[in-house]
Structure 1
Amino acid sequence: MRITLCGGTGDIGEGLALRFAYDTDHEILIGSRDPEKARTKAAEYETELDSRGIETTIKGFENAMAADRADVVVLAVPPYHVRDTVESISDRLDSETILVSPAVGMQREKSGLHYNRPSAGSVTAMVAETAPEDVPIVGAFHSLSADKLANLDIALDEDTLLVGDDEDALDIVQLLAEGIEGLRTLYAGPLANAAEVESLTPLLINLAIHNDLHDVGVRFE
């Protein structure tokens, strides 16, 4: 499977790229608005994986080129870049491409971080609103720590919640996510439930801040 990480040069993009390449045999492409930056980071990821005995090729391209003919495109970009990123790649997407949204809108105040709900209702809904109508959308990876993902010395043992309306797309993202060792998926309902899932992220960060914890995740029992 070909997985493209648009914004794959950032924190969550790096973490997912390394885990997918370390734990699976999928083809990984790094996308960025700056293709040279994408190529540089892809080479860095290859070097890190090679140091751990994993020989793989990770390529970097401009976002639209990276998204072209991808099976799954992960929008590993900040929420304020989600809409323009989707618009920039929309002509490379079709009904066979699954668009995955992990972004969460947050606002920092003195008391901590708070969920910043966009006008569409959730960032995932904003993706669905912006993408071509026939492109299946799945929300996933919202509550994962980018630092924990990127540190391959840390064993994962946590859940990621999936939201989506397309059963086939959900099944594929479930298989993809659970290919990462120690990661379990749970279905949280249709896209209409995305806001509830996204709002978990600032809660987890606040728990980490106020309890001097690191790399907080969630496991449901």
Structure 2
Amino acid sequence: MRIALCGGTGDIGAGLALRFARDTDHEVLIGSRDPERARTKADEYGAELSNRGVETTIKGFENAMAADRADVVVLAVPPYHIRDTVESIADRLDPSTTLVSPAVGMERDEAGLHYNRPSAGSVTAMVAETAPDDVPVVGAFHSLSAGKLADLERDLEEDTLLVGDDEDALDVVRQLAGEIEGLRALSVGPLANAPEVESLTPLLINLATHTDLHDVGVRFE
């Protein structure tokens, strides 16, 4: 399987790229609006893994070219770039491509971070609105700490919650997430449940801010 991380040069993209490349046998492609930056970051990720004794090839492309080659496309971009990114790759997607959204809309005030629900109802719903009608969309990886993902010295013992309307696409993402060591994927139903899942992220960040906990995640028992 080929996994494209559009926006894979950013924090969450870096963490997912390193974990996918280390823990799975899938091919990892780094996407960016700037193909040169994508190639540079891909080389950096490959070098870090090589230093850890993991031999893998990570390639970098412009976002649309990365998406064109992929079975799973992860939109590792901030919510305010979601529509533009999906529109830029839309003609490279087809019904066999699973589109994954980990983005969460948040706003900050003096009290902390709060969920900023977009007019579509959730960022995941906004992705589904923008993507071609026949391309399945899954929300996943929202509550994972980018810093913890990218630090391969740290073990994951966390859950990621999945939402989506296409059972086959959910199965693909569930299997893929479960291949990351220490990560368990749990489905919480259709895409309409995305607001509840996305709103967990600002809660976790506020928890980390006001306690001695850092890079917190969730594990359900």
- With the shorter chain as reference, the TM-score category is over 0.9
- Within 5 Å, which residues of 2 pair with 1:15-94? 15-94=15-94
> 1:142 and 2:142 equivalent?
yes
- Distance in 2 (CA, whole Å) between partners of 1:92 and 1:125 is 20
- Distance in 1 (CA, whole Å) between partners of 2:21 and 2:69 is 19
The CA deviation at 1:108 is 0.6
- Distance in 2 (CA, whole Å) between partners of 1:42 and 1:213 is 31
- Within 5 Å, which residues of 2 pair with 1:58-207? 58-207=58-207
Q: Deviations over 1:99-131 (max 9, x none)?
A: 000000000110000000000000000000000
- Distance in 2 (CA, whole Å) between partners of 1:47 and 1:192 is 40
- Distance in 1 (CA, whole Å) between partners of 2:125 and 2:107 is 18
Alignment match, 2:7:
7
- Distance in 2 (CA, whole Å) between partners of 1:69 and 1:151 is 28
DSSP 3-state at the match of 1:41 = helix
- Distance in 2 (CA, whole Å) between partners of 1:97 and 1:117 is 26
The CA deviation at 1:187 is 0.7
- Distance in 2 (CA, whole Å) between partners of 1:98 and 1:112 is 33
Equivalent position amino acid for 1:42 in 2: A
Q: Deviations over 1:179-212 (max 9, x none)?
A: 0000001111100000000000000000000113
RMSD of the alignment, in Å? 0.5
DSSP 3-state at the match of 2:113 = strand
Equivalent position amino acid for 1:35 in 2: P
- Distance in 2 (CA, whole Å) between partners of 1:69 and 1:155 is 30
Q: Deviations over 1:152-187 (max 9, x none)?
A: 000100000000000000001000000000000111
Q: Which runs of 5+ in 2 are unaligned?
A: none
Alignment match, 2:213:
213
- Distance in 1 (CA, whole Å) between partners of 2:214 and 2:37 is 29
The CA deviation at 1:213 is 1.8
Equivalent position amino acid for 2:111 in 1: S
Equivalent position amino acid for 2:46 in 1: E
Provide the aligned length of Structure 1 versus Structure 2: 221
**TM-score, scaled to structure 1:** 0.99
Equivalent position amino acid for 2:127 in 1: V
DSSP 3-state at the match of 1:94 = coil
Moved over 3 A (4+): none
DSSP 3-state at the match of 1:186 = strand
Q: Percent identity?
A: 82
Q: Which runs of 5+ in 1 are unaligned?
A: none
